Every structure is written in C-alpha cells, then in structure tokens.
C-alpha cells in the first residue's frame, strides 16, 4: 500500500475545510466533536481540497475504504481512475466518496481509527445501506460536479464507473448542476441519462439542483428506473442560509433574503439550497403529511407511523403531493423573483409548484424527520409500501415511489452537529437495515442462447418494452434469431393491429430496436437486471456459463435458467447469488404459450421471486409457482407422456401419424406427442431423458430410446433441422416461398 495513501492528520486538522455549500464549519464541527467525543487522532480523512493534496493522497491505493468528500475530487482530475492503470486491477479498492457528514457519524460509532480497522467503516457503511458488496458502491457527492461536467463525463465513462455495476446504491447530490444550468442541457444531462440507464437500482437522488423546467424533464427520465427510495431530506430549508423574515400565521411577510454569509459565490451554495427549499422539499414540515407524521412520531405512536407509511399513497393522493419529492411547497413567489433578480443567473419556473405558505423549519422538525427515518430504517418488521400502491403514472409525472430504501441527506447531520442528540439519533440510524429493498426493477434483460427459446423470450421481452441483449455463440445464429423474431413479431402485429400497417410496422420496429445482439455475454451482464439463460440443456455447460456471469454481472442482477429438466439448485450452485437465482421456465412457442413456471430454490429471496413473477406478467404470461423438483409441473407429466409415445412407435404399435391424430382428436391436445417432440427439438428431448436416466438408472420410464438416439445422431432434430419424426422440408420450403 502506498505510504501516502493514508494521511494521519493532527487533531485540529482532521479534515480539510469544505469550501462548498456555503458552510465553513467543518472544522468547527470537528472541534465540537473532539470536545464531546473520543475523536481519533489517526483518522483517515481524505478530503483533498487542492490538487496538490489530492495528489499526495492517492486514494486509489487504499485497501478497503476511501473517504473522500467529493469536493476534493474535482480539483484532482489527474486522479481519474482511467488514467491510473492500477485502478483497473484494483477491484478490492473501494472508491467510495462518502459525504463528510456521514463520515463524522461513522467516526462516532466506529472505533476504527487505525488503518487496520478501516474495514469496520465498511461494515458500518454496509449496515447503513445493506450492501452486500461495498466494493460496488460509489457515493457521489456531486456538489463537486459543479462546473465539472466534462470531468464527470470523462471520468465516469460507462466502463470505468464502478457505480454502473452497483448493486443497489448510487447517491448523487446533484445541486451543483443547477448552478450550471446551461450545461445541464448538454453534457450533464447526457451523463445523467447514462447514470439512469446503468443504475436502475439507484436508491437516492437528491436533486436539489433540478429546479429548472428543462431539468425536470431530465428528472423524469431519471426516475423512471428508480425502484427503491424514500428520501427524507428537508435539510435544505437551511438554517443560517436565510435571514428569516417575520412570519405571521406561518406566512413570510417579506421575501426571504440570503444570509450575509451566503452571498453569491462561485460554487454550489445558497442559491441552490434556497431554491431547493422552495421547490423540492421532501416531507416538508409545512405540509399536512408532515404534520401527521410528526404527531405520530412525537407521541411515540409508532403504530401510527407504520400506518402512515403504509397509507401514504392515500395521503399523497389526497394532498396531491408526491412522497419523496413532494410537490413543492413554495415561498411566496415575490421572494423567488427577488432572489432571481438579485442573483440573476437562473430562471424562475413557477410551474408545476404549488404556492403555499412556507414555514421555517426548526430543529425539532429535523429531529422528527430523523427519528422517522431512523425508525423506518431500524424496524425490520415494517412493511414498507411496495410500488404497487403508487400508481406509477408516467403521463402525469407521478413517478416517484416509496419503497424499501431510505436515504438521508447528510445535511441532517451537518446542521445538527452541535447537539449530542444528533449523535444519538445517528446511532439509531446506523443500526443495520434489515428490511431494505423489495422488488427489483427489471429494465434490461440479458437472454443467453438465441435458439428456439431464447429468441422467443427476447421477442416477448422487447415487445413488453424492455431492453434486451441476446447472446449466442455465433453471429449467424444471432442473425437468424433476429430475423425469426421480426417475422414472429409481424404475426403478432398483424393479429393486434389488423389492417393498420403503420401501427403494425411501428410495433415491430420498436420491439426490434430494443434488441441488441452480441456473442459476448460478459459485457452486457454488467448492466442487466435479469439474465435468462436458454442455452443447450447440459448442466456443466450451464454451470460454466453462470460461473463467469456471476463475476461479470452486477450484484443486483437476478439470474434465471429456462432449463426444462435440470435442477435449478444444481445450476445455481455455480454462483454466489442463491438469493437472486430462480427458474423461469417458458414454453414453446414462447410467443404463443401463456404459461411460465417460476421456480424457487431454497435460497431464492422473496424479492427475487416476486420480481420474477412480476416479470412473467409483464411479458404477458401467466406465472405459476413451482418447487425445484424434476420437471417442475408440466414436464413431470409431459415427459412420460411423450416417452410412451416414442416407445409405442418403436414397438410398432402404431404409426407416428396415428399416435398424433389419436391424441389430438381423442384427448384434445393441440399437437400430438411426436409432433410436439419434433417441435420442442429432439436434441432437447434427448438431453432431458439422458439426464434423468443418469440420475435414476433404475427407472424404466427414463431408459434411453434407440429411435430418438438414432434420429438425433443423424442430425434429425425435429422442426428446427427440417426433419425428425416427420419431414418438414417441403412444408418449410412452401412457407418460405409464401413469406409466412
């Protein structure tokens, strides 16, 4: 480890001064803490505020944790990860930019203060976020991003940005971008979109800066994918930022003015904070939602809080506010205009804010919020609302949903640092979060295997509006798959839109455009929310694939296999993500068969199972729940049935045609058993039966079939190869000619 990596600083100098955000009290904070608490003397504190300092600190070399207030990072562009080759190999390095305030809290509660004990910090941090792998979390305090969008775009290239493989968390404090609103249109919003694309499990965005209308559009884009979040952040109703005017009946009698300390500066600062205060305040103490909450918390009626949480959808509907980003309370608009004309570098947008009186927050309000959040965090038994109660209505922009995650803005702590109380509260906050995220959002699906099943799965997934990456071993197979998908989508479109060719074409085009193909599964695995494996029915091959995917994929990614006959448990054993593993057994032809068996192994978490169930519904299927028993439900019955038909044929008891006709007309099956075996693929049938035979040699039902083996040996795999029990060549040639 580089000697310079850890700087042991003197007591009076724990952290460099934070020169952003209009608050210069970090040293004061630390002094206060030093007096009150046993503050360490060998604290690792990296907050390089000059590039010189930053250079000497070389945090990329740290073994397990880096605590950097992002402010410093901007001044040290030479620390761009990609410029440092070591970065690429240093997977064990945690490049976490924790906010200074959180660090302070950690310091109070983690007696970690030696380099060796840094892991303890990680533990705490993990506890806060319930991250299973801190290595993949990045805390971006992007106050630092002010005026540095190029830098950001440069540094956080998709392949380089670790947060792109985040399991669940990326926190972006986004106020800086407000100040630089002109840039917001271009580079920054491009970067933002990338974040949003790549971090569908984004937990918290504190978008203080997204005040401007054009920013709000970005905001929309941003939040489409945010599944888990309750943001509690009223902090920007800032103490010390405003000269508080006389209030009558809760209404400011004159426009608020920026505090003299907070005159215009060249960084993020009061403008941002002030506007945040008027525009984007979550759980705003001035609203009735907050009152209800406060009353409950203060009266220690925790059940009422629970009710409140569970009921918040209703409350919000009634109040026409959003939880999380509650529709803003607003300062009296003259105040906005005044500030606007004084500071003059931003546009005032009054829409869609509702104008209503703004109360000034007092310390008690903060505590209430803090208590509330701490309570939510620490009560594992609270059933936090699932997304469903929140009508996630893109049309009306009600896009924010309350779910399992809770995030604080660090300003809670900043503002309260003087009281011991906050430390106490923070200790509550730091309790492990047991009940964290619920269901994963599935926006990007990686389908591996572009054969019969994989291409069908890719088709229906894209048709349902999700991004798909389809992987197979050769470009030829992929080309064939895409052309098959196009033609199959054409049939669906014809059925759906009849004569309306324009609509039909658009439907096909939109879906096809959502499908990308590649022969490399590793790269897209980093960005997928769900992986569906539909490759050859061979346990070793599947395990090899999953082992490599487990390394490449993001932590949050759910893995599934579409296996017909193998044990999902056996396949999942190749990975370290038993909780995010399950079976998704589709039926052939995928676009037409309505069933999906959702298979649960012992380790499958509820969240995973729910997400898979939901996914099946989202792609238009009817899911059924299955245990991981051989053949699940359908194949347990289907395999013996088809097998008996093949043996009947082998014995010469009846012809293929008669067996099939008999079962169609006598038992009402849409296809006869041999037709079906051809349809499924005789190689698939053989692999199933061979596998089961291997597992249970004595079971006569599973004895190999010479006829099946012969056909497969001759490359007669059924429909897909042009012949099997039947010959399809003539039929296929006819279809090709007629274009059907």
Ligand X SMILES: NC(=O)c1ccc[n+]([C@@H]2O[C@H](COP(=O)([O-])OP(=O)(O)OC[C@H]3O[C@@H](n4cnc5c(N)ncnc54)[C@H](O)[C@@H]3O)[C@@H](O)[C@H]2O)c1
Ligand Y SMILES: CCCCCCCCCCCCC[C@H](O)CC(=O)SCCNC(=O)CCNC(=O)[C@H](O)C(C)(C)COP(=O)(O)OP(=O)(O)OC[C@H]1O[C@@H](n2cnc3c(N)ncnc32)[C@H](O)[C@@H]1OP(=O)(O)O
Contacted by 448, from ligand X, ligand Y, none: CB < 5 to 8 Å by type: ligand X
Considering only residues 488, 557, 561, 605, which one is a binding residue for ligand Y as defined by CB under 6 A? 488
Phi, psi of 140 (to 5 degrees): -105, 110
Part of the chain binding ligand X (CB under 6 A), chosen from 218-226, 405-413, 443-451, 485-493: 443-451
Considering only residues 19, 378, 588, 661, which one is a binding residue for ligand Y as defined by CB under 6 A? 588
Active-site annotation holder among 444, 537, 585, 705: 585
Element (H, E) at 625: strand 622-627
With respect to ligand X, which residue has the nearer C-beta, 314 or 541?
A: 541
**Considering the rule CB under 6 A, would residue 564 count as an interface residue with ligand Y?**
yes
With respect to ligand X, which residue has the nearer C-beta, 505 or 520?
A: 520
Considering only residues 110, 155, 202, 471, which one is a binding residue for ligand X as defined by CB under 6 A? 471
Part of the chain binding ligand X (CB under 6 A), chosen from 54-62, 134-142, 160-168, 584-592: 584-592
With respect to ligand Y, which residue has the nearer C-beta, 86 or 734?
A: 734
Enumerate residues 6+ apart whose C-beta is below 8 A from 626.
583, 585, 597, 598, 599, 600, 632, 633
**Considering the rule CB under 6 A, would residue 536 count as an interface residue with ligand X?**
yes
- Active site (annotated) includes residue 282: no
Cβ atoms of 348 and 337 closer than 8 Å: yes
**Considering the rule CB under 6 A, would residue 688 count as an interface residue with ligand Y?**
yes
Part of the chain binding ligand Y (CB under 6 A), chosen from 103-111, 436-444, 572-580, 588-596: 588-596
Enumerate residues 6+ apart whose C-beta is below 8 A from 632.
583, 585, 597, 599, 626
- Active site (annotated) includes residue 597: yes
- Active site (annotated) includes residue 585: yes
**Considering the rule CB under 6 A, would residue 450 count as an interface residue with ligand X?**
yes
Active-site annotation holder among 64, 229, 564, 605: 564
With respect to ligand Y, which residue has the nearer C-beta, 581 or 587?
A: 587
Candidates 97, 98, 123, 94; CA nearest to 109 is 123
The CA radius of gyration of the chain, in Å to the nearest whole number, is: 30
Considering only residues 448, 596, 685, 717, which one is a binding residue for ligand Y as defined by CB under 6 A? 685
Considering only residues 229, 563, 604, 605, which one is a binding residue for ligand X as defined by CB under 6 A? 563
**Considering the rule CB under 6 A, would residue 591 count as an interface residue with ligand Y?**
yes
Kindly state the smallest distance separating residue 178's Cβ from ligand X, in Å: 46
Considering only residues 481, 638, 674, 717, which one is a binding residue for ligand Y as defined by CB under 6 A? 638
**Considering the rule CB under 6 A, would residue 564 count as an interface residue with ligand X?**
yes
Considering only residues 146, 676, 687, 711, which one is a binding residue for ligand Y as defined by CB under 6 A? 676
Hey, what are 447's tokens? 């389908």
**Considering the rule CB under 6 A, would residue 473 count as an interface residue with ligand X?**
yes
- What CA–CA distance (Å, rounded) separates 547 from 564? 20
Active-site annotation holder among 597, 605, 705, 721: 597
**Considering the rule CB under 6 A, would residue 517 count as an interface residue with ligand X?**
no
Element (H, E) at 133: none
Candidates 475, 487, 454; CA nearest to 736 is 487
Considering only residues 182, 248, 260, 495, which one is a binding residue for ligand Y as defined by CB under 6 A? 495
Considering only residues 233, 236, 562, 608, which one is a binding residue for ligand X as defined by CB under 6 A? 562
- Taking the C-alpha atoms of 474, 477, 479 and 483 in order, what is their torsion angle to the nearest 10 degrees? -170
Runs of H (alpha helix) within 92-203: 100-109, 118-129, 149-155, 176-179, 181-183, 189-198
**Considering the rule CB under 6 A, would residue 708 count as an interface residue with ligand X?**
no
- What CA–CA distance (Å, rounded) separates 113 from 116? 8
Which residue's structure tokens are 């619920």?
438
- What CA–CA distance (Å, rounded) separates 487 from 491? 7
Enumerate residues 6+ apart whose C-beta is below 8 A from 621.
460, 586, 594, 595, 596
**Considering the rule CB under 6 A, would residue 453 count as an interface residue with ligand X?**
yes
- What value, to the nearest 5°, has the Cα angle with vertex 569 and ends 628 and 201? 100
- What CA–CA distance (Å, rounded) separates 649 from 705? 11
**Considering the rule CB under 6 A, would residue 190 count as an interface residue with ligand Y?**
no
- What CA–CA distance (Å, rounded) separates 694 from 154? 54
Q: Identify any residues that bridge with 560 across adjacent strands, giving them in sequence order.
A: 532, 582
- What CA–CA distance (Å, rounded) separates 289 from 70? 33
Contacts to ligand X by CB under 6 A: 448-454, 471-473, 477, 534-537, 541, 545, 562-564, 586-588, 680-681, 684
- Which residues are the active-site residues? 564, 585, 597, 635
Applying CB under 6 A, which residues contact ligand Y?
488, 491-492, 495, 564, 587-589, 591-593, 634-635, 638-639, 642-643, 646-647, 670-671, 676-677, 680, 685, 688-689, 705, 708
């Amino acid at each position: 480890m580089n000697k310079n990596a850890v700087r042991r600083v003197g007591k009076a100098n724990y952290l460099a001064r934070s020169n952003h955000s209009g608050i210069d009290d970090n040293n004061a904070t630390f002094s206060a803490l030093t007096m009150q608490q046993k503050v360490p003397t060998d604290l690792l504190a990296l907050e390089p505020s000059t590039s010189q300092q930053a250079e000497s600190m070389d945090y990329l070399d740290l073994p397990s944790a880096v605590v950097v207030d992002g402010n410093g990072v901007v001044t040290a562009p030479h620390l761009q990860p990609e410029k440092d080759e070591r970065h690429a190999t240093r997977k064990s390095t945690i490049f976490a930019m924790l906010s200074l305030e959180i660090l302070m809290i950690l310091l109070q509660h983690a007696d970690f203060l030696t380099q060796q004990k840094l892991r303890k910090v990680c533990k705490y941090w993990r506890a806060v976020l319930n991250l299973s792998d801190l290595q993949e979390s990045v805390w971006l305090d992007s106050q630092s991003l002010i005026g540095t969008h190029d830098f950001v775009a440069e540094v956080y290239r998709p392949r380089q940005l670790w947060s792109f493989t985040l399991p669940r968390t990326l926190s972006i404090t986004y106020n800086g971008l407000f100040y630089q609103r002109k840039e917001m249109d271009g580079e920054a919003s491009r970067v933002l979109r990338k974040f949003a694309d790549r971090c569908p499990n984004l937990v918290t965005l504190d978008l203080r800066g997204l005040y401007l209308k054009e920013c709000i559009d970005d905001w929309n884009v941003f939040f489409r994918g945010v599944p888990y979040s309750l943001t509690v952040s009223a902090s920007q109703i800032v103490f010390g930022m405003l000269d508080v005017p006389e209030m009558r009946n809760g209404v400011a009698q004159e426009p608020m003015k920026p505090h003299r300390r907070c005159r215009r500066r060249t960084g993020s600062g009061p403008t941002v904070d002030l506007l945040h205060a008027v525009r984007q305040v979550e759980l705003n103490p001035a609203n009735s939602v907050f009152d209800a909450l406060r009353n409950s918390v203060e009266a220690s009626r925790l059940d009422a809080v629970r009710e409140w949480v569970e009921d918040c959808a209703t409350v919000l509907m009634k109040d026409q506010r959003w939880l999380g980003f509650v529709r803003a309370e607003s300062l009296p608009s003259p105040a906005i205009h005044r500030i606007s004309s004084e500071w003059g570098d931003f546009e005032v947008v009054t829409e869609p804010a509702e104008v209503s009186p703004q109360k000034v927050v007092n310390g008690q309000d903060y505590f209430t919020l803090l208590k509330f959040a701490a309570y939510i965090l620490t009560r594992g038994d609270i059933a936090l609302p699932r997304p469903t109660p929140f009508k996630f209505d893109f049309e009306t922009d009600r896009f924010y949903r309350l779910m399992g995650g809770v995030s604080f803005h660090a300003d809670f702590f900043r503002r309260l640092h003087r009281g011991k109380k906050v430390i106490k509260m923070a200790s509550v906050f730091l309790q492990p979060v047991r009940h964290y995220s619920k269901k994963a959002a599935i926006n990007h699906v990686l389908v591996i295997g572009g054969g019969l099943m994989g291409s069908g799965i890719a088709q229906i997934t894209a048709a349902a509006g999700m991004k798909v990456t389809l992987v197979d071993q050769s470009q030829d197979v992929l080309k064939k798959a895409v052309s098959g998908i196009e033609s199959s989508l054409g049939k669906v479109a014809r059925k759906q839109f009849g004569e309306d060719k324009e609509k039909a074409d658009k439907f096909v085009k939109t879906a096809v455009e959502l499908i990308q193909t590649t022969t490399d599964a590793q790269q897209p695995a980093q960005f997928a929310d769900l992986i569906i494996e539909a490759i050859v029915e061979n346990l070793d091959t599947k395990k090899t694939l999953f082992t490599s995917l487990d390394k490449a994929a993001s932590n949050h990614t759910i893995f599934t296999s579409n296996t017909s006959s193998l044990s999902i448990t056996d396949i999942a054993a190749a990975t370290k993500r038993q909780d995010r593993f399950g079976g998704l057994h589709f039926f052939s032809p995928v676009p037409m068969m309505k069933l999906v068996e959702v298979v649960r192994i012992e380790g499958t978490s509820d969240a995973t199972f729910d997400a898979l169930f939901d996914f099946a519904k989202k792609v238009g299927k009817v899911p059924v729940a299955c245990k991981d028993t051989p053949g699940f439900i359908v194949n347990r019955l289907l395999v013996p049935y088809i097998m008996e038909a093949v043996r009947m044929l082998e014995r010469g008891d009846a012809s293929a045609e008669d067996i099939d006709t008999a079962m169609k007309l006598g038992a009402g099956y849409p296809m006869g058993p041999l037709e079906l075996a051809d349809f499924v693929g005789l190689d698939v049938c053989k692999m199933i039966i061979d596998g089961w035979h291997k597992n249970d040699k004595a079971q006569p039902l599973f004895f190999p079939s010479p006829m099946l083996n012969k056909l497969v040996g001759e490359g007669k795999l059924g429909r897909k190869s042009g012949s099997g029990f039947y010959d399809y060549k003539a039929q296929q040639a006819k279809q090709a000619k007629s274009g059907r």
